[in-house]
Structure 1
Amino acid sequence: MAAPTTPTTVTLRNSSGDTAMLVSSTYGGVPKAIQSGGESSEFQQDTSLNSFGSVVYAIGNIATWVVVWTANNQVAISILPAGAPIVWTDIWDKIQRDNAHDSYTTSYGWKYDSAARIESNGDAQVLIASIVALPPN
């Protein structure tokens, strides 16, 4: 069975306080850096080439932000401590329809929170994923 060919517009928003630097991606056109608090970074994914996509960004030297999505409205997010191995089966186990959320609290009490929403109108798909940093109470 052929994979769906619904094009995906991906918007990544970074409000972490650090520049997000691309570590890896399964798709071209992904921005190499996303400034914190700057404008959103947006790119198109042609799902006739890939039925899923993923990006991995280093958030300063504190955390790793992973976003995975499919051409049929499924998404997963993971925030890991910097340098921690990415266990892809753990991330794929978290994939779900429409929305995803994850958080990570550093040893200094800072909390990194990420959410994603993916939806389709049948002809196209939109994914919006964001990461924010919240200071200790």
Structure 2
Amino acid sequence: MAAPTPTFVGLSNQSGDTALLVSSTYISSPIIIKSGDSVVFEQNTALDTFGSAVYAMGKMATWIVVWTANNQVATSIRPADTLVIWEHVRSTIRPDKAESSYDTRYGWGYKSEVEISWNGDAQTLNATISTVPTN
């Protein structure tokens, strides 16, 4: 049996809002990520071939990050209080990197960028959420 392959997951919140964990496939996902903070945790891919983390961004949006053990990612930003349709999120999984945006009606929006790479021993995933002007 091969040794488990770790994925080092880095989440960075540059949005101006506090990110509050709604759900995750891993207990090590941080419950709160304050704006300006970055966190790192490890996923053991021997336990599961895919991981996810869902965060409420204040009362404005929901941030979704999904990754697989074979270097694929997806991200989505949804209006707050809308259902997450996992079939839709999974259909957007792409190799290496993905991005998503959501425009609020206040002249600004959120942007999520996710990238995953493999160095032969482990995967590294970096995901960032930030705000951007829409006007």
If the length of structure 2 is used for normalisation, what is the TM-score? 0.95
Structure 2 counterpart of 1:117:
115
Percent identity of equivalent pairs? 55
Structure 2 counterpart of 1:26:
25
3-state secondary structure, aligned to 1:128: strand
3-state secondary structure, aligned to 1:41: strand
Report if the CA contact (8 A) 2:97-2:113 is conserved: yes
Give the structure with the larger strand fraction: 2
Return the offset for 1:105: 0.0
Structure 2 counterpart of 1:66:
64
Q: How many residues align?
A: 135
Residue identity matched to 2:124: V
Deviation readout 1:88-132 (Å, 9 max, x if unpaired): 010000000000000000111211000000000121000000000
Alignment equivalent of 2:125, drawn from 124, 127, 131:
127
Residue identity matched to 2:84: I
Report if the CA contact (8 A) 2:75-2:112 is conserved: yes
In structure 2, stretches of 5+ residues that fail to align are: none
Report if the CA contact (8 A) 1:6-1:122 is conserved: no
CA distance in 1, matches of 2:56, 2:2: 30
In structure 1, stretches of 5+ residues that fail to align are: none
Alignment equivalent of 1:77, drawn from 75, 78, 99:
75
Cα RMSD (Å): 1.6
Report if the CA contact (8 A) 1:74-1:97 is conserved: yes
Return the offset for 1:4: 8.6
Structure 2 counterpart of 1:52:
50
3-state secondary structure, aligned to 1:115: strand
3-state secondary structure, aligned to 1:56: strand
Alignment equivalent of 1:93, drawn from 81, 91, 94:
91
Return the offset for 1:134: 1.8
Residue identity matched to 2:4: T
CA distance in 1, matches of 2:117, 2:14: 22
